[in-house]
Structure formats: structure tokens, C-alpha cells
Amino acid sequence: MILKTLPIIADEFNLQNYDEVYKQFDWSDAERAFSWFETGKLNLAYEAIDRHANTSKKNKVALYYKDDERNEKYTFKEVQQQTNKAANVLKDVADIKKGDRVFIFMPRSPELYFALIGAIKLGAIVGPLFEAFMEGAVRDRLLDSEAKAIVTTPELLSRVPVKDLPHLQYIFLVGENIEEKDKCYDLNKRMKEADRQFDIVWVERTDGLTLHYTSGSTGKPKGVLHVHNAMIQHYQTVKWVLDMKEEDVYWCTADPGWVTGTAYGVFGPWLTGTSIVVAGGRFKPESWYKIIEEFGVTVWYSAPTAFRMLMGAGDEIVKRFDLSSLRHVLSVGEPLNPEVIRWGMKVFERRIHDTWWMTETGAQLICNYPCLEIKPGSMGKPIPGVKAAIVDDQGRELPPYRMGNLAIKKGWPAMMATIWNNQQKYDSYFLKGDWYVSGDSAYMDQDGYFWFQGRVDDVIMTSGERVGPFEVESKLVEHPAVAEAGVIGKPDPVRGEIIKAFIALRDGYEPTEQLIEDIRQFVKLGLASHAAPREIEFRDKLPKTRSGKIMRRVLKAWELDLPAGDLSSMED
């Protein structure tokens, strides 16, 4: 059904019309916001940048970038030119074509964003990698996806095991004094010489856009493929949930290595023609408040761990900054504690709006809106166009207040298209009746608000980052001293969970502080610093099933002093 034009829907929606819009909205209503609705020519990069660069928005700032050394801004016109240059380099040097996988592995910088959008202009599928990944993690992802090119820095190049990667033919380096040799090219130099014009490659809605690797409780990280069709939901949720208006200055603190950093760090805000702030460097309460003050940030999207760290830094610091520009504050990634919401009301005089979604879902699904009452502790209600429910293991819907699987009816625009090279894994997400099963357990109350209860599987959320216990265990047992390892998430007041490893040592090794440090370093250097266990406990033996699987459930019960439950499958 066709409603009114979209900006009106968004504005009316935010004026208390949740129920009505929820009843009437159909995703096809949202398509008229895009130029391809008229032209038939589609590419997310065009809608995000070129469309604005060809209108009165051309001199509006698209990107403010700040770190310890750089403080720069780029208009939509300038981003159009820079991304055209990046696209020309990728095309002319590396012959990147539609569907080729191009990885980006570098700290935040304007070049990262130019390369990202440039590659999308070619129809390439971009694999963003968090800068903290070490060699093993980089190898797994580039091998699985058969990446043809990577954009990285000279510092991070040592973690790209080029010799093990037969498909990797082109390495673009961003830095000073780059020597062009052995597959390596100087991106900045090449971009300087490149043409500012570029003819965008038009794609289908179902063509690949990004490949985000994410962790489950078993196996290696899996490649979640998103397609250009996701832009419909990116756009619409930025209107509804982020409540974005023409004059807003928006800051999303997530790194593009994670899905929030692409969907809501780049795509969604630029699709709506919003000025974004990107801050490089590490987390420090003072510098974060300074960013809000300096750029006059109005809409701010962050995560519970960050809010808890800010809360821990004290209210006195807040008073040293002028944060009056803030209009709308949002959170994602882990449960948002009611206490944090109350603190936000006190220091920012703003409610923090929780949002729920996952890498696999590609965009927000259950949220708190400016137009609805917040029930602190609840993730909110589904966005219009999305049906959410609590179902049992057979896919039967459960009544309010019954705990079960949080599930979403298949068919929202941003849903993953597949798991790369693993259709079987993709299929395993769905129950009969076309329910996508999230892996989270939750319940719904009588007003239709959803309340997160935990993960059904063993996936760990630490500081908002998703870590698969299997990946960490696999790395741990590569250490010469480790015979067996079991890894769990241990509740932590600031980080949500921390990674705790139970380890049985090989004969001849003594459990010392030095060894603990050594094992931790081993994971840090082999996988990533955020994957290294903060706590390590040695045990003579670990609880295992008769088939030899470590029973993390029992480890968790040990840790929390809980009954271990059914132990019938445990070996003697």
C-alpha cells in the first residue's frame, strides 16, 4: 500500500504514530526515497554520495575527521571526487570488477572511507577488518573470501600473510614513503594522479555490498554477506530511530570493522545526506566529550560498555564540557542497564535509546523511538515492516512473558543474503514458518516491548564485541603448555562480559603468573587483543562430553557457583 511521501511518514512517525505506521507501513513505500525508484539505476554509493553531490547539498560537510594529528573536513562534492579517484585506482591498477572481494584493514582515517565507497562504486564486495586483528584472524577471512585486493597500512602489512593467500594480488598501502613492489601500490600517490570522474557500475539489489565476518559458538568466523537492497532499511531506520534531520551532526563511535560502523557509521547517515563525525584514536572520556563539544554533535550512537566507562570516569568531567548540542542518544550491542539510562538522564539530560540488531540482520530491528515511552531495560519494539516474536524450538509463537527464542519473520530488506561458502550454515538460522532465529533469548511484555535475557549459545559479548569461544579455545590449544581449554563469558560490571579461560596444562608445565601472561600474549598476538582471556584458571581436568566436547555450561556453573544441570552426557 502506498502511503504519503516518506519524509512525512518519518516526521509523523516521530510524532507519536507508532501504532498507526506499524499497521500500515510496507517496505515498498520506502523505495520512493531513492533515485533508482525513477531511474532504475542502482548502487548504494550513488545514493550515499553522488546524489547529494549533484544537488544543493554539494557544499555541505559529509565527513568531519579528527585524530591526534589530523583535523579535516570534506564536503559531499569532495567525497564524491575522492571516492571516484579511489574507484579509478582500484579499477585501473587491480582490475576490480563487480563481485570481487576487496578488504580494508586499517585504522580509521578519511582514506578508509574513500576506499570503502570507492570499492562499492565498482560493485565490489567490501570486507572491513578491525585493525586489532592479528595474522591468524586476517588469514582466515582473506582465505575464505578469496579476496583479490586489500587496502591497508605499512604497519599492518606484517599481519597479512601474503604468501598463504593465493588469490590476493593487489595490496594498496596508505602511508608515507611507500615503495611500490611485490604486489604493493601507494594508494595516496595513485589517487592523486587519478581522474576525478568515474562512471558508477550499476548493480542489482541482490548484488553483494559487504562481507562482515562474525563469530558463533562453533567453528571459524563466518562471512555474513549483505547486499545493496539493505540501503532501504538503513535509510528508513536512520529516519525513524536515529531521528535524523537535515541540520544534524552525527557521531557513531563504532569502527567500520564491525557492522554498526558500516550500516550506521557510513551508509545510513550518508543515504540521508547527514554530516558525520569520525574520531580516530583510542577511547578516552575527555576526548570523547571534547568531540561532542567541538563538532556540536546532535545525534550520538554508541554502546553500553562505552557509556559505563564514561559513567565510571565520573560526573565531574562531564561538567567541564558543553554538551548542550546533544539531542538524541542511542545504544547498541549489549544489554543497556537501567542504571546507565538513569545516569544519562542526569548528566546529558537525555534518555539513551536502546536498539537491538545483529550482524546477520544488517540493520536495526527492535528499538526505542523518540515517540515511545522508554521502559528502562527493554530493547523496545519492532520497527514498522518487521514482525518479531518469541518462539519455542519448533517455531511456535509463545504468549507474553514466556521466555524463548527471539525470532524475526524472514523478509526485511537488510537481512543477510547468505553466509559466504556455507549455505548450510545460513539455512540453519531458520525455523519452519520462515522464522529467523537470533540466538538470543528474550520475552515480550503485554505492551509488545521485548526484554533481552541472554544468549542461547555460548557466544561472548565483551565490550560490545562478539567473540566465539571456539576460536579462542583453538588458539589456546596451539600454545605448547595447553592441553585443553574451555572459554566462557564471565559477567563484568563494565564490559558486560569478560573472557575467562579454564585450562588444563600439559605434563611438565607449572601454573605460574608468568605462564598466564605468556598464554594471554599468545592469544593477543595470534588472534586479537579483544579475544585474549582476561582471566585464566588452571584445572587438572576439564568437563567434557563422552564425544570429547568441552562442556562450557559446566564451566559457567563452576564460575557462577550454580548447579551444573544435567550431567548425563559427561564422561566419567
Report the interface residues with ligand WTA, using CB under 6 A. Answer: 214, 259-260, 332-335, 354-359, 379, 438-440, 452, 455, 461, 466
- Give me 521's grid cell: 600474549
3-state secondary structure of 498: strand
CB of 83 to ligand WTA, least distance (A): 25
Contact 85, 122 (CB under 8 A): no
CB of 321 to ligand WTA, least distance (A): 26
SS3 content of the chain, % helix, strand, coil (to 5): 35, 25, 40
- Give me 222's grid cell: 563466518
User: What is the C-alpha to C-alpha distance for residues 401 and 34, in angstroms, rounded to an integer?
Assistant: 40
CB of 439 to ligand WTA, least distance (A): 6
The DSSP secondary structure of 146-208, one letter per residue, reads: T-SEEEE-TTTGGGS-GGG-TT--EEEE-SSS----TTEEEHHHHHHHS-S---PPP--TTSE
Classify strands 275-279 and 328-332 as parallel, antiparallel or unpaired. unpaired
CB of 440 to ligand WTA, least distance (A): 5
| Cα 235–chain centre separation | 17
CB of 224 to ligand WTA, least distance (A): 8
Q: Which of 217, 249, 151 is nearest to 439 (CA)?
A: 217
Based on its alpha-carbon atoms, the radius of gyration of the chain, rounded to whole angstroms, reads 24
- 325 or 453: whose CB is closer to ligand WTA? 453
- 110 or 468: whose CB is closer to ligand WTA? 468
- 265 or 333: whose CB is closer to ligand WTA? 333
- 225 or 461: whose CB is closer to ligand WTA? 461
- Give me 285's grid cell: 572520556
CB of 258 to ligand WTA, least distance (A): 6
Q: Distances in Å between the alpha carbon of 532 and those of 250, 283, 474?
A: 32, 19, 12
3-state secondary structure of 111: helix
- 85 or 466: whose CB is closer to ligand WTA? 466
User: What is the C-alpha to C-alpha distance for residues 362 and 492, in angstroms, rounded to an integer?
Assistant: 27
CB of 215 to ligand WTA, least distance (A): 8
- 406 or 536: whose CB is closer to ligand WTA? 406
CB of 311 to ligand WTA, least distance (A): 17
- 379 or 407: whose CB is closer to ligand WTA? 379
- 9 or 299: whose CB is closer to ligand WTA? 299
CB of 261 to ligand WTA, least distance (A): 10
Please identify the residue of the shown chain whose CB is closest to the bound ligand WTA: 359
User: What is the C-alpha to C-alpha distance for residues 101 and 99, in angstroms, rounded to an integer?
Assistant: 6
| Cα 192–chain centre separation | 31
| Cα 24–chain centre separation | 30
- 82 or 359: whose CB is closer to ligand WTA? 359
